[in-house]
Structure 1
Amino acid sequence: MINKTDAEILKRLQQDGRLSNVELAEGINLSPSPCLRRVKNLESEGVITGYSAVIDREKVGYGMTVFVDVSLESHKEFASAEFEASVVVLENVIHCHEVSGVSDYRLEIVVQDLKGYEVVLKQIQQLPYIKDIQSNFAIRTVKSGAPIPL
């Protein structure tokens, strides 16, 4: 579990990952050296897993988001492992979650348009141990990229 100061560091970095150490330290009323030590510790413990830019999908040509539920024909460990190894290399699949319920996995896929989805769907259909695929097309995004509540 993290303490109050570390939680404040994480909140501020989630809001703006480009904050300088000095700006971050000032914002949480800590001197720069201890602040930097705390950030480095959060990174080394794997609490902070990386830094990235948030990109507007539509502005870079990905106007369609599709959520795909996948059911496997086998629930043996080797089937899941082979499916997962195959799906992680598909560039248009930006998230893959193992889920409970009717399906086994939920994929989030970004494509330019319906023709682009057809190409990706054919790739997914070729993955090992696929039993069923259900596609849900996002109409619009209501909430995205929310920070982890700390």
Structure 2
Amino acid sequence: MSEIELDSIDRAILRALQRNGRLSNVQLAEQVGLSESACLRRVRQLEETGVIDRYVMLVNPQAIDRDGTVFVRITLDGQQAERLAAFETAVRQVSEVMECYLISGDFDYLLRICVSSANDYMRIHEKLTSLPGVLRVQSSFALRTVHRTTELPLDESSPQPANGAGNG
């Protein structure tokens, strides 16, 4: 991905689309103070350069009885590249895993999992313990969500995107 300098209009477009990805070009142009053609040109440039990765809709977890969050710390029995790759391939197949990070420190991976109940998590726990190389699984149930957002900060002091940003 090539680097792009984001000006205040680009940031306004990104903020608006992060809040509502279904805005029409007419609505977006009006919100950011551009003509429709100029706005569309900017959005296409943001898409082509990879600043806009994709468009999604968010499901309300409470509406589908998946509003429980469990943070899971996974320790593998080794950290060889093959061990990490095998685990990473397998964990992608566990649909309840919303996020998975390779972590430095006392454990190898941190996962965020959405569940409906403690019993539901027991089912998922069995899946996790059977993944390749798993030595230890430690789980913490979130008691309450204090703050959650999908919007990245886009103020003027935000760093400019580097090559490869957004590819994840």
TM value normalised by structure 1:
0.93
Of 102, 122, 130, the residue aligned with 2:134 is: 130
Instruction: Indicate the residue corresponding to 1:75 in structure 2.
Output: 79
Of 49, 53, 61, the residue aligned with 1:45 is: 49
How far the C-alpha of 1:4 sits from its partner, in A, is 2.1
More moved, 117-126 vs 38-47: 38-47
How far the C-alpha of 1:3 sits from its partner, in A, is 2.4
Q: Secondary structure at the match of 1:2?
A: coil
Partner Cα distance (1:36, 1:88) in 2: 35
Partner Cα distance (2:36, 2:68) in 1: 43
Of 143, 151, 162, the residue aligned with 1:147 is: 151
Cα 1:73–1:7 shift into 2, 3 Å: same
- Identity between Structure 1 and Structure 2 (%): 39
How far the C-alpha of 1:136 sits from its partner, in A, is 0.4
User: Is 2:12 the counterpart of 1:8?
Assistant: yes
Q: Deviations over 1:54-108 (max 9, x none)?
A: 2221221113210001111211111111101000111111111112221111111
Partner Cα distance (1:128, 1:2) in 2: 42
The one of the two structures with greater contact order (alpha-carbon pairs below 8 A, sep at least 6) is 2
Partner Cα distance (1:95, 1:122) in 2: 18
Partner Cα distance (2:63, 2:20) in 1: 21
RMSD over aligned CA atoms reads: 1.3
Segments of structure 2 that go 5 or more residues without pairing to the other structure are 155-168
Partner Cα distance (2:10, 2:67) in 1: 37
The size of the alignment, in residue pairs, is 150
**Which residue identity lines up with residue 130 of structure 1 in the other structure?**
V
Q: Secondary structure at the match of 1:89?
A: coil
Segments of structure 1 that go 5 or more residues without pairing to the other structure are none
Partner Cα distance (2:86, 2:130) in 1: 12
Partner Cα distance (2:81, 2:38) in 1: 45
How far the C-alpha of 1:149 sits from its partner, in A, is 0.6
Q: Deviations over 1:95-137 (max 9, x none)?
A: 1111222111111111111111111000000011112111000
Partner Cα distance (1:128, 1:146) in 2: 31
TM value normalised by structure 2:
0.84
More moved, 3-12 vs 84-93: 3-12
Of 65, 88, 93, the residue aligned with 1:89 is: 93
Q: Which runs of 4+ in 1 moved over 4 A?
A: none
Q: Secondary structure at the match of 2:79?
A: coil
Instruction: Indicate the residue corresponding to 2:113 in structure 1.
Output: 109
